[in-house]
């Protein structure tokens, strides 16, 4: 392993708590190790983080203790059972999906459908029980109990605090008339539910973001906020939860319809993400090599049918190993991402950029012949050499990587080959030529020189 991989916090910046347990590279613990309290990764957290976690958890326990004696009726138990059924079926149905995505937080956002309905229907003791059971279920089904326990306990604490605060808001506005989903109507009711939703969200999100920021001190706060779409998903889940609560009071027998609706929406939301994820390279966001090759095949078929041309560029960064050696592999990865973005900017919207291998990129440019392709190849090469990418080096100091160069091999269908394999082989051979010609240049298949770098004047044709 290279030194660059030691700072796990940069690899997985948003997985708080994962980053600080010494030796806990993946965030998972195994077997009996985690059962022994003395060896809990929790104790290896830095003092301030540990103090923060324990404070939030103590507050949650106090909040539960203050509300545990509030009365619970038979109807409450019925609603509790229905909400638990909803969250259980929901999680069972999507646990496989979420495990694959390794984004189980997503499922927890959607569990908020049932939890927020609980805020509108249940007294605090049952609300807390619903949160704990839902979370333990998700921990078991999605993570198979392998995620760090202290993270899960902290998440439960934030949800308990958020839910009880939202409950308190509704309780105050309705002057204690329950269930809130029936008592709160009209514009005031609407505003009360929105206010409760905001309180639920702010407490939850704020407490978790603070934990991420504390454990990733070297990262900009913005990076700890997570994707905005997650927050949108949570807002949608709370809106849906309000609907669930009203339906459960007015038409309890319609509840299964809502379970099906939530499941269908969840799956519908995830499928496009899956499709994109299966096509793209995680490190750069470009098309992966397999899908890119399929796109090339499609373009060649179209060109064949219409009698047109299609150009293919293969690009290999020059001496990229030196970047890794000097700045570390994580910085190297950031540079790859920067190059990927620059390549996308350098070509037209319908040109397809893929990551062919480690630091090799591939671009298919439909409709381009030899002349146009030469300028496109040059634009692409220049985009790399003009690039400056901010990175963190091995000492976590911010540096700027510039002066990168790339060698480009180009081939045009049908001039240099009659099918995909022939075109790719021709472009690869041209790339090899560009490397042997001194790098930082573009070569066309068939030995045609397009450009040589100014520092190799003897090779300019
Ligand atoms: P040249 O192509 O000019 O001959 O030299 P090079 O140093 O780029 O050599 P080569 O293409 O043979 O090696 C590619 C190097 O790119 C090896 C490895 O250090 C680096 N590399 C490959 N994949 C990755 C990656 O995903 N991340 C990082 N950081 N580095 C990678
Ligand atoms: Mg290289
Ligand atoms: Mg290479």
pLDDT tens per residue across span 189-229: 899 999 999 999 999 888 988 888 887 666 666 666 766 77
The finding on whether 333 has its CB within 6 A of some atom of ligand 1 is yes
Closest Cα to atom 19, ligand 1: which residue? 321
Closest Cα to atom 22, ligand 1: which residue? 358
Quick count: other Cβ atoms within 10 Å of Cβ 188?
Answer: 11
pLDDT at 459 over 50: no
The finding on whether 324 has its CB within 6 A of some atom of ligand 1 is yes
pLDDT averaged over every residue in the chain: 81
Q: In this structure, which ligand is nearest to the CA of 318? A: 1
Closest CA to 417 of 428, 401, 404, 402: 428
The finding on whether 320 has its CB within 6 A of some atom of ligand 1 is yes
pLDDT band at 298 (very low <50, low <70, confident <90, very high): very high
Neighbouring C-alpha atoms within 13 Å toward the C-beta of 64: 19
> Residue 372 Cα, ligand 3 centroid: separation in angstroms?
26
- Nearest atom, ligand 1, residue 357 CA: 23
> Residue 321 Cα, ligand 2 centroid: separation in angstroms?
7
| Lowest mean pLDDT, pick from 28-42, 122-136, 333-347, 370-384 | 28-42
pLDDT reported for residue 36:
67
> Residue 331 Cα, ligand 2 centroid: separation in angstroms?
16
pLDDT band at 235 (very low <50, low <70, confident <90, very high): confident
Cα separation of 439 and 402, whole Å? 16
Instruction: Return the percentage of the chain with pLDDT > 90, whole number.
Output: 51
pLDDT band at 140 (very low <50, low <70, confident <90, very high): confident
**What length is written for the chain?**
461
> Residue 359 Cα, ligand 3 centroid: separation in angstroms?
5
> Residue 355 Cα, ligand 1 centroid: separation in angstroms?
13
- Nearest atom, ligand 1, residue 335 CA: 29
pLDDT reported for residue 28:
38
pLDDT band at 93 (very low <50, low <70, confident <90, very high): confident
Quick count: other Cβ atoms within 10 Å of Cβ 173?
Answer: 19
Protein residues placing their CB within 5 Å of the ion ligand 3: 316, 360
> Residue 404 Cα, ligand 3 centroid: separation in angstroms?
14
pLDDT at 98 over 80: no
User: Mean of the pLDDT values across residues 124-138?
Assistant: 91
The finding on whether 357 has its CB within 6 A of some atom of ligand 1 is no
Cα separation of 359 and 321, whole Å? 9
pLDDT at 310 over 60: yes
């Amino acid at each position: 392993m290279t030194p660059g991989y030691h700072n796990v916090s940069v690899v997985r910046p948003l997985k708080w708590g994962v980053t600080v347990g010494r030796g806990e590279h993946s965030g998972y613990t195994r077997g009996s190790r985690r059962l022994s309290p003395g060896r809990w990764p929790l104790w290896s957290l830095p003092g301030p983080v540990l103090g923060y976690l324990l404070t939030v958890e103590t507050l949650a326990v106090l909040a539960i203790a203050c509300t545990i004696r509030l009365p619970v009726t038979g109807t409450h138990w019925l609603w509790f059972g229905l909400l638990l059924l909803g969250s259980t079926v929901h999680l069972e149905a999507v646990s496989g999906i979420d495990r694959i995505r390794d984004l189980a937080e997503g499922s927890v956002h959607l569990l908020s459908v049932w939890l927020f309905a609980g805020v509108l229907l249940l007294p605090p003791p049952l609300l807390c029980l619903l949160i704990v059971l839902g979370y333990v279920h998700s921990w078991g089904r999605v993570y198979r109990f392998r995620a760090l326990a202290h993270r899960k306990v902290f998440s439960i604490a934030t949800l308990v605090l958020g839910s009880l605060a939202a409950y308190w808001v509704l309780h105050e506005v309705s002057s204690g008339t329950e269930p809130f989903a029936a008592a709160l109507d009209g514009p005031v009711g609407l505003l009360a539910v929105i206010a409760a939703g905001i309180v639920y969200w702010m407490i939850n999100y704020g407490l978790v973001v603070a934990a991420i920021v504390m454990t990733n001190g070297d990262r900009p706060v913005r990076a700890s906020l997570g994707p905005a779409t997650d927050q949108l998903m949570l807002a949608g889940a709370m809106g849906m939860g309000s609907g669930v609560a009203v339906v459960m009071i007015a038409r309890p027998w319609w509840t299964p319809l809502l379970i099906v609706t939530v499941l269908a929406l969840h799956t519908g939301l995830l499928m496009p993400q899956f499709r994109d994820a299966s096509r793209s390279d995680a490190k750069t966001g470009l098309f992966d090599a397999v899908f890119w090759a399929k796109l090339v095949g499609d373009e060649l078929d179209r060109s064949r049918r219409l009698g047109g041309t299609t150009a293919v560029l293969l690009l290999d960064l020059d001496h990229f190993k030196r970047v890794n050696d000097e700045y570390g592999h994580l910085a190297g990865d950031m540079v790859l991402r920067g190059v990927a973005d620059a390549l996308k900017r350098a070509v037209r919207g319908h040109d397809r950029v893929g990551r062919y291998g480690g630091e090799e990129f591939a671009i298919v440019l439909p409709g381009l012949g030899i002349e146009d392709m030469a300028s496109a190849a040059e634009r692409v090469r220049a985009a790399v050499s003009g690039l400056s990418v901010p990175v963190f080096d091995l000492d976590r100091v911010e540096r700027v990587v510039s002066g990168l160069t790339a060698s480009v091999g180009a081939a045009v269908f049908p001039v240099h080959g009659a099918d995909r394999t022939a075109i790719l082989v021709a472009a690869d051979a041209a790339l090899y030529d560009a490397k042997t010609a001194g790098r930082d240049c573009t070569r066309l298949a068939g030995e045609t020189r397009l450009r040589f770098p100014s520092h190799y004047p003897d090779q300019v044709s």
